[in-house]
Amino acid sequence: MEIISIEKKTFEEFVLRLGQFVKRMDSINRQHSSRRMSDWMDNQDVCQALKISPRTLQTLRDCGRLPHSKINNRIYYRPEDVERLFENDV
């Protein structure tokens, strides 16, 4: 194990800057998550909207026809991407 020592003043400045960074990131996260996540659709919403099975939905994801985001082991879709796919007739 390697031990690195730094001056107390340097460490305190580092902790202060890290705290400021965390506050900034939390603020940015709050702005974006509250505004957008409620608009996204999950697997069930998309299957119902397109009248397709979960397996067909997985195929659309796998072949790249339907963009998606995976957050905490759940898959979400932007409504505009689903609409675009709907217009092109699944």
- What is the mean pLDDT, run by run of 10 residues, along the chain of 90 residues? 93 96 88 64 93 96 94 92 79
Q: What is the pLDDT of residue 86?
A: 74
Q: What is the pLDDT of residue 90?
A: 53
Q: What is the 3 state secondary structure string of 63-84?
A: CCCCCCEEECCEEEECHHHHHH
Helix (H) or strand (E) holding 51: none
Query: Alpha-carbon distance 78 to 37, whole Å?
Result: 9
